[in-house]
Amino acid sequence: MSEALGIRFLVVDDEETIRRLCMTVAEGMGFSTMQASNGEEALSLLETQPADIVLTDLVMPRMSGLEFLERAKKILPRVEVAVMTGHGSIETAVQAMKLGAYDYIAKPFAPLEELRLFLRRMAEKIELVEENHFLRERMDAEIRLHGIVGATPKIQDVLRMISRLKDTRTPVLIVGESGTGKELVARAIHFRGSYAARPFVAVDCGSLVPSLIESELFGYEKGAFTGALRSKSGLFQSAHGGTIFLDEIGELPLEMQAKLLRVLQEKEVRPVGSNERFKVDVRVIAATNRDLEVEYRAGRFRKDLYFRLDVVTIRLPALRERRSDIPMLVHWFLDRHGKGAFVQVTSAAMKCLLEYEWPGNVRELENAMERAIALGDSHVIDVSDLPPSIASLPPSVTLTPPVNSAMAVSSTDLEDIERATIERVFEQVNGDKVMARKMLGISRATLYRKLKRYNIGSRTPVSASTQRLQ
């Protein structure tokens, strides 16, 4: 983290020399600074002028540092407050940590460099938290709607396809490696569309017992086979009016493929052992992780059924083909499995996640995040919380600058993604900062800071509206 642009700093101390000293150091680091000589004054300041970092004395007239700390956190839950301890009042400092203080530093500051490093670490933590928030807030804007996370063009194409198909009855074939989200997409097509209130029936063709597939799908008549004590309707009939999702369709035996084809062509089913036919209006969505073209060329899949299903094909990219979606997915799963806690990921851990090959795709990533939450004992996920296969990359890829703390330098990957996202949004809104801020779902100060950091906006033509920040 090269510079701490826009970090707002507040020092609270009844001693003017201390305040002046802290302000000088903070200003030298590029922070904007404020000061207060007691807790009350500081609190009323924070109500109108939020700070990112606060350094407070513990022993002050009227309001103690501890009381100030507690009340400041209520006003600004994300503010980082560190306490300055005067005469070795370690117990009080420990108490402050329990109340959520960032850390403590002993007065007098000797050497001054110690204070500088201390403030630098605080600023880095703020930036890490912000980066994590940034990704999360961006997700809020677009994704919570349909549960499909991703901003890369490949996933955006998938989302467009879903929108186009959701109100139609067109058969859809979804292909993709295991864990890429085939079922998620099938459900989105059904549940986001005008048939959402109708049934959605999922059938895993791979797990059906071959001899029972036909009766499962199309039903059976009483006495059709031993044990058929009464007639039963099949899954196609259950899906009448809605959608049947034929998962792992590549696993269907050839003989069943012929029967399925007939049902799709004639739009009616004949239960096993029955002479009667029943009309079924069912939209078919099929999924497979096999290449059906290869399968039909090899004689393992019926060509006519393939063409029947392949009216529209959605190809889901492997996770390694859309790595820049990884940070967003990570936060999505941390939110989903984190039981409401705000879990952060260190840059080093994120780097591992970005570089791993992900043979199990999104499902593997989801499992890794669930595991990290279950095993980790803090709100920060570091490399050691990741499964060994992900944490231990070959030496060639781990040769990066040493990362010695959870609050270390931000990953360039993350920055690239962030920069690209802001640039894209900025283009969309023609450089209007108010709009950009709304679309990105971030605070005015955060946007300002990011724009400066990435040098965005200065190149955009400036009109009256782009001048506004609020």
Decide whether 28 or 206 has the Cβ nearer to ligand ATP.
206
Smallest gap, in angstroms, from Cβ of residue 168 to ligand ATP? 21
Smallest gap, in angstroms, from Cβ of residue 461 to ligand ATP? 36
Site for ligand ATP in 365-384 (CB under 6 A): 366
- The residue number with the shortest CB distance to ligand ATP is 181
Strand-pairing partners, residue 233, are 219
Smallest gap, in angstroms, from Cβ of residue 118 to ligand ATP? 39
Decide whether 40 or 183 has the Cβ nearer to ligand ATP.
183
Decide whether 142 or 183 has the Cβ nearer to ligand ATP.
183
Smallest gap, in angstroms, from Cβ of residue 247 to Mg ion? 5
Q: Which of 362, 369, 390, 391 binds ligand ATP (CB under 6 A)?
A: 362
CA distances from 152 to 319, 329, 355, 393 (A): 11, 12, 17, 25
d(CA 71, CA 49): 15
Smallest gap, in angstroms, from Cβ of residue 307 to ligand ATP? 23
- The residue number with the shortest CB distance to Mg ion is 183
Question: Taking CB under 6 A as the rule, does residue 181 contact ligand ATP?
Answer: yes
Smallest gap, in angstroms, from Cβ of residue 358 to ligand ATP? 11
Binding mask 125-164 for ligand ATP (x = CB under 6 A): ----------------------xxxx--------------
Decide whether 12 or 162 has the Cβ nearer to ligand ATP.
162
Binding mask 158-187 for Mg ion (x = CB under 5 A): -------------------------x----
| Residue 362, binding choice from Mg ion, ligand ATP, none, Cβ under 5 to 8 Å by partner class | ligand ATP
Rg (alpha carbons) of the chain, rounded to whole number? 29
Smallest gap, in angstroms, from Cβ of residue 306 to Mg ion? 19
Smallest gap, in angstroms, from Cβ of residue 137 to ligand ATP? 17
- Those residues with Cβ within 8 angstroms of residue 163's Cβ, 6 or more apart along the chain or in another chain: 192
Decide whether 65 or 150 has the Cβ nearer to Mg ion.
150
Question: Taking CB under 6 A as the rule, does residue 415 contact ligand ATP?
Answer: no
Decide whether 38 or 178 has the Cβ nearer to Mg ion.
178
d(CA 106, CA 110): 9
Residues near ligand ATP (CB under 6 A), total: 18
Question: Taking CB under 6 A as the rule, does residue 171 contact ligand ATP?
Answer: no
Show the tokens assigned to 118: 């201390």
Three state DSSP letters for the chain: CCCCCCCEEEEECCCHHHHHHHHHHHHHCCCEEEEECCHHHHHHHHHHCCCCEEEEECCCCCCCHHHHHHHHHHHCCCCEEEEEECCCCHHHHHHHHHCCCCCEEECCCCCHHHHHHHHHHHHHHHHHHHHHHHHHHHHHHHCCCCCCCCCCHHHHHHHHHHHHHCCCCCCEEEECCCCCCHHHHHHHHHHCCCCCCCCEEEEEHHHCCHHHHHHHHHEECCCCCCCCCCCEECHHHHCCCCEEEEECHHHCCHHHHHHHHHHHHHCEECCECCCCCEECCCEEEEEECCCHHHHHHCCCCCHHHHHHHCCEEEECCCHHHCHHHHHHHHHHHHHHHCCCCCCEECHHHHHHHHHCCCCCHHHHHHHHHHHHHHHCCCCEECHHHCCHHHHCCCHHHHCCCCCCCCCCCCCHHHHHHHHHHHHHHHHHCCCCHHHHHHHHCCCHHHHHHHHHHHCCCCCCCCCHHHHCCC
Decide whether 361 or 411 has the Cβ nearer to ligand ATP.
361
Site for Mg ion in 46-75 (CB under 5 A): none
Question: Taking CB under 5 A as the rule, does residue 360 contact Mg ion?
Answer: no
Site for ligand ATP in 328-347 (CB under 6 A): 329, 332
CA-nearest of 243, 264, 228 to 165 is 243
Question: Taking CB under 6 A as the rule, does residue 178 contact ligand ATP?
Answer: yes
Decide whether 180 or 411 has the Cβ nearer to ligand ATP.
180
Smallest gap, in angstroms, from Cβ of residue 183 to ligand ATP? 4
| Residue 178, binding choice from Mg ion, ligand ATP, none, Cβ under 5 to 8 Å by partner class | ligand ATP
Q: Which of 183, 304, 321, 370 binds ligand ATP (CB under 6 A)?
A: 183
Using CB under 6 A, list all residues that contact ligand ATP.
Answer: 147-150, 176, 178-184, 289, 329, 332, 362-363, 366
Using CB under 5 A, list all residues that contact Mg ion.
Answer: 183
